[in-house]
A and B are shown apart, each in its own frame.
Chain A
């Protein structure tokens, strides 16, 4: 092989640098495209939906006339379903994470649980809907209610909460546990007074990300049979309804609709007037989800900055 001349070597270097530059531009282009999609999405919904951003839109029920239709039953439904989801998923997820990090011995049972959690995260969300349809709706007889929907979404986001709890607990150094045990605390007391409080910001981040995912989930809730047209609110506890006083938990069994289903309903109507409603409702949902995500990102950023063991 003949040695290269200086000119040829310069040409090789120049070509390498050009290729680097081309790839760098490609990378920036791809990132810009991702950003552009977010911006286009939000801009489109704001422009199309702006005429619906009135108080009435938030206080009206769904209606056959696009201009009078609102999202009252949808946002109330979303809020109540999220309440059930949080009440079920947070204690379960934190307890499971605590068990796997602080209690579990390395045995077959633990590895089954761990493999299971990883695999559950890859199961399509609509399959959870089928699970809920078979178990919650028919087997347990919860019906097509807020309770069924909340529990379904709780199962869906359980892996997210467990994983973030475990990561938060793993970041706590062993000396904290040793110090606590050295003064005579039991394992549970160590968890209760040290591990859980110190892991709290990390757990909270996971909970918020999980709930942000749940509030935008549509498929499993459609599968259990949420209605798309609801012109009433779930009964408020201890108030007078048509059939006597509502019990404290009657709202759990009420039929409901949620924001994503309302958007789906409006998007799939042929009348373009409903596109405006879909855009406005989509923007409201985006605002909810993005602000939850922003809180989580901020929380994690602060966390990384402040904690030095």
Chain B
């Protein structure tokens, strides 16, 4: 037996080195695969770089022709007219008014739903309500736009006879409904993460459910609530189709939600629908507008992160 094995040894030697070679090969493949996976993860960073590059490079050409001061202070936005004016505040006002209307709906409604689901509802109601909210959040925005223009506006016109066919009000209201699921589900997650012992303490002192919810759970979850509101604001500021369909697309410097107005997003849509030559000043305005939009959302996100860091409670 022993003898037979030693006799075989020379012929086994190549097998061992084969294995070593295979091992080296295997390590190489592993490294290669890891590198490829890293590449896939890096695509997200490339996307961000791409966004910044495109918006900034086109905007630089734009601002070489139109001064930043004029861009920020002019009260007219008529980039495609012969007498061209580039006052971004006109579009910003439309964006802010419609977002304000949307948040006036989404934040109270979303918070009430979140408190109800987390503090009052039993698990059966919750299991039923969550899919409903998810479905509401999944409805395409163009369908909401249709709804705002052809269903909500006629209803509102019964209440306010002076309301025009396109208005920031009806677009904003529907946008608010669209944002409710985002606010509600994030807020609920934040409140459910509050430890039970806090609630039990409050109940033991004789607090009612509502008192506990408002004076104990909400303050404890405030950083999560703030995050959900910030996400709601980002959604409202960046929403496009509801406004393009239902708010009209005329630039209009106004703070009155009963009027039609263009927003930053609906202006981009309006330009993209037309035939603008690549490299013209009209073409560059949509990148300048896009950069403004991105800066506004960035501002709110930084604010949100600051709020979260400031009011974070650790349990």
Contacts and interface: CB of A to CB of B under 8 A. Distances in A.
A276 B135 CA distance: 24
A267 to B, nearest CB: 5
Contact of A120 (B44, B131, B144, B209): B44
Interface string B176-214: 010011000000000000000000000000001111010
A260 B146 CA distance: 11
B210 A120 contact: no
A155 B209 CA distance: 44
Contacts of B132: 31, 34-35, 38
Nearest to A275: B150
Nearest to B120: A24
A147 interface: no
B138 A95 contact: no
Contacts, number: 259
Interface string A58-99: 000000000000000000000000000000000111011011
A223 B268 contact: yes
Given A218-B140, A286-B140, A293 B51 contact: no
Interface stretch (B67-75, B84-92, B215-223, B238-246): B238-246
A285 to B, nearest CB: 6
Given A122-B231, A122-B301, A186-B30, A135 B293 contact: no
A98 B37 contact: yes
A16 interface: yes
Contact of B44 (A104, A113, A188, A285): A113
B151 A289 contact: no
A155 to B, nearest CB: 5
B290 A130 contact: yes
A284 B41 CA distance: 35
Contacts of B116: 23-24, 26-28, 30-31
B124 interface: no
Contacts of A96: 37, 40-41, 43-44
Contact of A260 (B109, B140, B297): B140
Nearest to B108: A30
B272 interface: yes
Contacts of B181: 34
A30 B47 contact: no
B149 to A, nearest CB: 6
- The winner among A117, A260, A282, A297 for most chain B CB atoms within 10 A is A282
Given A95-B40, A135-B50, A289 B240 contact: no
Contacts of B301: 119, 122
Interface in B93-150: 109, 112-113, 115-117, 120-121, 129, 131-136, 138-147, 149-150
A100 interface: yes
Interface string B142-177: 111111011100000000000000000000000001
- The winner among A112, A134, A187 for most chain B CB atoms within 10 A is A134
A206 to B, nearest CB: 13
A189 B233 CA distance: 44
Contacts of B47: 120, 131, 155, 158
Given A41-B147, A124-B297, A27 B135 contact: no
Interface in B291-305: 293-294, 297, 301
B313 interface: no
Interface stretch (A172-180, A209-217, A232-240, A248-256): A209-217
A224 B145 CA distance: 20
A113 B135 contact: no
A37 interface: yes
Nearest to A97: B41
B286 interface: yes
Main secondary structure, interface of A, reads: helix
Interface string B246-290: 000000000000000000010011001100001000000011001
A281 B297 CA distance: 32
- The winner among B50, B129, B181, B293 for most chain A CB atoms within 10 A is B50
A278 interface: yes
A92 to B, nearest CB: 5
B6 interface: no
A186 B37 contact: no
B286 A130 contact: yes
Given A127-B51, A285-B143, A290-B138, A92 B43 contact: yes
A123 B231 contact: no
17 contacts: A30-B112, A41-B143, A41-B147, A95-B39, A96-B43, A96-B44, A122-B231, A122-B234, A126-B238, A126-B268, A127-B293, A131-B55, A134-B57, A217-B140, A219-B241, A267-B245, A289-B140
Given A96-B37, A131-B54, A219-B244, 15 more contacts: A23-B213, A37-B177, A44-B147, A99-B41, A103-B34, A113-B45, A122-B234, A122-B297, A124-B234, A124-B293, A134-B54, A162-B44, A188-B29, A212-B138, A278-B150
Interface of A: 16-17, 19-20, 23-24, 26-28, 30-31, 33-35, 37-38, 40-41, 44-45, 91-93, 95-96, 98-100, 103-104, 112-113, 116-117, 119-120, 122-131, 133-135, 138, 155, 158-159, 162, 186-188, 209, 212-213, 215-219, 222-225, 228, 260, 263-264, 267-268, 275, 278-279, 282, 285-286, 289-290, 293-294, 297
Interface of B: 26, 29-30, 33-34, 36-45, 47-48, 50-51, 53-55, 57-58, 109, 112-113, 115-117, 120-121, 129, 131-136, 138-147, 149-151, 177, 180-181, 208-211, 213, 231, 234, 237-241, 244-245, 265, 268-269, 272-273, 278, 286-287, 290, 293-294, 297, 301
